[in-house]
Every structure is written in C-alpha cells, then in structure tokens.
Amino acid sequence: MPDLRAEARAPHPATNTHRNPGMALELDWVEAARVNLSAAERRAATLTTRRSVKKEYQAAWLVKSITCMDLTTLAGDDTPGRVQRLCAKARRPLRDDLVEALGLGDRPPTTGAVCVYPTMVAPAVKALAGSGIPVASVATGFPAGLTPLPGSGNP
C-alpha cells in the first residue's frame, strides 16, 4: 500500500505545490459533545422571526456575499459571446450608482469566480484577464453529460 502521507508531502508535479496531508479522523471529541436540546430548539425557532444582520451592517454583508458567489453558465449551447457577457457581469455585479452610493468606487466588488464548461474556459480567461477573478470549470459530464471532445485542446 502506498504511503499517502509521503506522497502528500511531495510537490505536485503540475503545480509544484504540496498537497494537504490531512489528518486521521478522531471521533472522540465528536462523541463527547453534548447539546442542551431544549435551548437549541428554542434558538432554532427564533431564526425565522428576525434578521441576523442589522441596519448598516446588512449592506456590508450583502456586498460581501457577492464576492463569495460564482457566476455559472452550463448551457450546452454556450457561446463565447454569452460567456463574455457573464464575465462582464462578474467584473461589475453592481450598478455604478450603487457602487458609488456604498462608497466602493475605489474598489468595486467582483464575484468570486466564473464557472463554465471546459470548452468555454479559454473565452472566460480572456474576458477576465487582469481582473483577478478565477475561472472554474466542471469536470466530466456534470450536470448534463457534456464532455470535451478528443482533440479539442481541453482536459
């Protein structure tokens, strides 16, 4: 059986980075945890009756949520033009007047990533050049069986 920890410590050949070796699953601390069931049920019952983020902080949290979103197009008939429009939205997810009103003109928010099928990675990378927004891609046939054709230049 291979030594997975030694393999994890070795740099990955494609990226020259190390894998996280992980750690053994220790269930003792999970099994030792205790919950006050009546208190947890009372708290859970109040979650739908009130907002967790109040007043001026709400806008900040909503803007932060934009930076955690991935804009995705996984249509089988995607085109470079459709991907370019999606990337433009990722670069500027808020209208200019909202960006200014929130005082974010010097650093407008962007989305966390753009996700496309493998055949649309190159147009997405080109459309996002210089933005710092990463491109993600689904693998194999997710979700509808679209897979790259041999020789298409995609993994």
Q: Peptide bond preceding 143: is omega within 30 degrees of 0, i.e. cis?
A: yes
pLDDT at residue number 39:
95
Neighbours of 151 (CB within 10 A): 6
- Mean pLDDT, rounded, of the chain: 84
pLDDT at 32 over 80: yes
- Residue 119: other Cβ atoms inside 10 A: 18
Of the listed ranges 89-98, 115-124, 142-151, the one predicted with least confidence: 142-151
Per-residue pLDDT at 140 = 65
Spatial CA neighbour of 133 closest among 106, 114, 109:
114
Buried b (16+ CB within 10 A) or exposed e, 75-109: eeebeeeebbebbeebbebbeeeebeeeeeeeebb
Opening angle at CA 58, ends 132 and 128, nearest 5: 15
Q: Is 8 helix (H, G, I), strand (E, B) or coil?
A: helix
Whether the pLDDT of residue 146 is over 90: the answer is no
At 50 the three-state DSSP class reads coil
Helix, coil or strand: residue 72: strand
pLDDT at 86: 97
Q: What distance in Å separates the CA atoms of residue 128 and residue 122, rounded to the nearest whole number?
A: 10
pLDDT at 72: 94
pTM: predicted TM-score of the whole model, two decimal places = 0.61
pLDDT over threshold 70, residue 118? yes
Confidence of residue 9 (pLDDT cuts 50, 70, 90): low
Contact 18, 32 (CB under 8 A): no
- How far is it between the farthest Cα atoms of the chain? 61
